[in-house]
Amino acid sequence: MPITESEIIKLKEQAKSIRHDIIDTTVWSGGAHIGGALSMVEIMTILYFKYLNIKPEEPHWEERDRVVLSKGHGGVGYAPVLSARGYFPKDELKEFNHFMSNFGMHLDSLKVKGVDVSTGSLGHGLPMAVGLALGARLQNKSWKTYCILGDGECNEGSVWEAAMSAAHFKVTNLITFVDRNKMMIDGRTEEVMALEPFADKWKAFGFIVKEIDGHDFKALSEAIDYAHSETKAPVLILCNTKKGRGVDFMEDQVKWHYGSIDSDLAAKAHESVNRG
Amino acid sequence: MAKEVTGTTWTVYDANTMTQAEIYGSVLCELGEKYPKIVGLSADLAKSTKIGVFGDKFPDRFFNVGIAEQNMFGVAAGLAKSGLLPFVSTMAAFTAMRGLEQVRTDICYQNLNVKIIATHGGVSFGAAGTTHHCTEDISIMRSIANMTVIVPADGIETACAVRAAVEWPGPVYIRIGRGFEPTYYQSEDYGFRIGKAQTISEGTDITLICCGITVLQAAEAAKMLKEQDGLSVRVLNMHTIKPLDEEAIMKAVLETRRIITFEDHNIFGGLGSAVADVIAKSGKGCAFEKAGIPDCYCVVGYPEDLYCHYGLDCDSIVNKVREVMGRDFEEDESWEDEV
Ligand SMILES: Cc1ncc(C[n+]2csc(CCOP(=O)(O)OP(=O)(O)O)c2C)c(N)n1
C-alpha cells in the first residue's frame, strides 16, 4: 500500500525520537557506535513502525517477520527502536554496556527481546538471513526476512557468498538493505577498499537493485513495496545515507564511527536533532 | 570544551601512559627502519590496533585490505612467500576464528614467516560482548603446528616480544589486550626470551603460573600473601605458551607441589591445560587448579569488572591461594613409589 503523507509525518517524528534515544543511550553506555546507528534510523523506523508483522508482547511468535542486523555494531541504534516498539522499557537502556547488563554493544539474541539473531562479527548476517528465508519457504511460512548490511561490511567475502546463494536459490522472501554511508572505521569506503561500481556488483550477483535516498521514507516505502511484489530475484535496497545523520557535528565524520559523549555534547546533539 | 573520546581503543585523550597497542605500533615503526623487509597489514582496524602508525610512516609497505580478514591472512602468506616479513594485526577474534583457516593452512602449514599481533584478546573488549571477546585463541593457536604463541604481560613485554619475533623463525602469534591494561615491567631490559618463563617472585609454598593481565595481579597477590599469611608464593610469567618452558613447570611441581594457573581465556585448552599436560606427563603428584573463564560466554561489562567476576584480580587470586593451601593434599616426601 502506497505510503500516505500523514504516515510520513508520523514516521519522521518517530525517527526523531529514536535519534534522541540513541544519543541518550550513547551517554549511558560510556561509548558506542553512534555514527552508523544514526545513518540507519529511517530504515529501522520504517521497518518497525510500518512494515514488520510482529507482536512485541510475544517476541517469539512463530509467524513474525525476522530481522537480521548484519552490521551488528549498530546495536545502539537497534535497541532504542525495539524499546520504542514496546519490547522493553526505555529505562533498561540505561544499563547499556554496564556490568552484567543484557545489552552489550552488539546485541545478543538470547538476552535482548526482539533480537532474532546475534550479530557483531561482520559478514555473518546475510548468510543467516538466507537460511531463515529458505527455512520459511521450505515450511510454507509467509513471514519475511529483512537484513541490514553495512557498506564496509560488504568487503567480507561471506557477504558475496551469501549473495550468490540468495540469487541461486531465488530467495525472494528476503529483503536486503545496505546502509551506504560511504564510511567504515579507517576512513571512506572508496579510499580504504573501493566498492564502486557497487550497484553493478550486486546486479552481477543476480540481485535486482533499487538505489534510493535512505533517509527518505517515501523512497524507502516504494522500494520495500517493490521488493514484496518481486518474485523472480532477490531485491537489494541500496540506501544512500550519511553517517551520523541528524547530529550536525557528527555528520559524515569518520571519527564518530565509535565515540562517547558527555552531557554537554549530548545537549548539543539533542539540539541538532530538534532543529532537524 | 566538552570532552570528546573517540576511536575504538579505550580512551584517546587523558592517556598518561601508552597503551599496549600503542607501544606495539611505535616499536614496529622503529623496526621498520632497521628491517626494510617488514610490511604491515590490517583489516579496517589500522587505527584501533595501532599498526596504522607503521602505515603512516611507511605507506608503501602497508596494506589495509578493508574488512576482509581471510583475504588479509592469505595476502600475508603470499607476501611472506615473496620474501617479505609481514606483521598482521586485527582483533584476536577475527584472527583466531575468522581468519583461522588461512592462518593455519596458508601460513603455518607452509611455515611462513608471518608475525601476527592480535589485539582485544580475552575479554578485554568487555562491553562489546561475545562477538568481540576471544577466550579461545590460546587453545586454537597452540594446537597449530609450527606456530609460536606469546601472551605478553603488558606493553613493555609486548615490545620485547615484537622485537624477538623479528629474529624468531616461522609464524608467531602475539596476543595483547585492548587498552589501559596497567604495566608490570618498567623497562625492556629484564631478559625476555621466547620460551623461557620469567620468575616474578621466588617462593616455596605454591606457584602461580600466569600470562597476560594476570601477571601483575598475581605479583601483587604474592606480596599480600607474604605479609598477611606468611606464605612464600612463586609467580611465573609464562608469556610463551608455545614452546612451553616445561623445565620451569617441573621445577615448580618439585619445589612447591601446589600450582594454580591464571589466564584471561576459557579454562579449557589454554595456559592451564598446557601446564596440566606437563604435570600429567611427569607422573608427579601436585595440587592443581586452573582459573579463567569457566567455559561460558562472558557477561558484558568493563574488563576490570569482568576480571573480578571471573576471579582474575588480585583479591580473588589471594582467596584462591588460601583455598588451595587449605586443601588436604598428600604431601608425600618421596615419589619413589609413584609412577
Ligand atoms: C569480522 C569483523 N571484522 C572487523 C570488525 C570490526 N568493525 C566493527 S564496525 C567496522 C566497520 C564497519 O563499517 P560499515 O559496515 O560500513 O558500518 P557503518 O559505517 O555503517 O557503521 C569494523 C571493521 C568486526 N566487527 N567484524
In Å, the largest CA–CA distance within chain A is 53
Residue B245 and residue B157 share a domain = no
In the block, residue with C-alpha cell 561490511: A153
Residues B123 and B230 in one domain: no
Mean pLDDT, range B149-160, rounded to an integer: 96
Residue type, A225: D
Burial A142-178 (b: 16+ CB within 10 A, else e): ebbbbbbbbbbbbbbebbbebbebbbeeebbbbbbbb
On whether both B161 and B70 belong to a single domain, the answer is yes
B 250-309 residues inside an 8 A Cβ radius of A: 299-302, 305-306, 309
- Domain range for B287 is 198-325
B14 and B152 together in one domain: yes
- Please tell me the distance from the alpha carbon of residue B114 to that of residue B144, in angstroms, as a whole number: 14
Same domain flag for B170 and B226? no
Domain count for chain B: 2
Provide ipTM, 2 decimals. 0.95
Check if A152 has its Cβ closer than 6 Å to any atom of ligand 1. Answer: yes
Same domain, B139 and B253: no
What is the domain count for chain A? Answer: 1
What tens digit of pLDDT does each residue of A198-242 get? 999 999 999 999 999 999 999 999 999 999 999 999 999 999 999
Residue B215 cell numbers, joined: 601477571
pLDDT computed for residue B7 by the predictor: 39
pTM of the model: 0.94
Closest residue on chain B to A151 (Cα): B67
pLDDT at residue B335 in the model: 55
Higher pLDDT, B22 or A137: A137
Q: Per residue in B257-283, pLDDT tens?
A: 999 999 999 999 999 999 999 999 999
* pLDDT for position B6: 40
Q: Report the CATH number that the domain containing residue B244 is assigned in CATH.
A: 3.40.50.920
Examine the domain organization and report whether B167 and B276 are in the same domain: no
Strand B240-242's sheet: what is its strand order? B62-64, B38-42, B85-91, B115-119, B172-175, B148-150, B240-242
Q: Is the pLDDT of residue B15 over 60?
A: no
Instruction: Look at strands B198-201 and B148-150 and give their pairing.
Output: unpaired
- Domain of B66, CATH number, reads 3.40.50.970
Buried b (16+ CB within 10 A) or exposed e, A213-244: ebbebbbbbbbbeebeeeeeebbbbbbbbbbb
Is the residue at B187 inside a domain? no
**Yes or no, beta carbons of B2 and A100 under 8 Å apart:** no
Closest CA to B214 of B170, B264, B141: B264
Residue closest via CA to ligand 1's atom 23 equals B44
Please report the residues numbered 168 through 207 in chain B whose beta carbons come closer than 8 angstroms to any beta carbon of chain A.
none
In chain B, what residues touch A99 (CB-CB under 8 Å)? Answer: 299-302, 305-306, 309
CB nearest to A31's CB, from B5, B70, B94? B5
Average pLDDT over residues A5-15: 98
Same domain, B211 and B155: no
Contact assignment for A259 to B4 by CB distance below 8 Å:
yes
A vs B, Cβ pairs < 8 A, gives: 122
Instruction: Report the CATH number at residue A77.
Output: 3.40.50.970
Q: Is A183 in the pocket of ligand 1 (CB under 6 A)?
A: yes
The alpha carbon of A246 and the centre of ligand 1 are apart by a number of angstroms equal to 21
Please tell me the predicted confidence (pLDDT) of residue A194: 98
Q: Which domain holds residue A220?
A: 5-275
Query: Which residue, among B131, B136, B297, B305, would best test binding to A if mutated, counting the most A CBs under 10 Å from its CB?
Result: B131
Of B142, B175, B208, the domain-final residue? B175
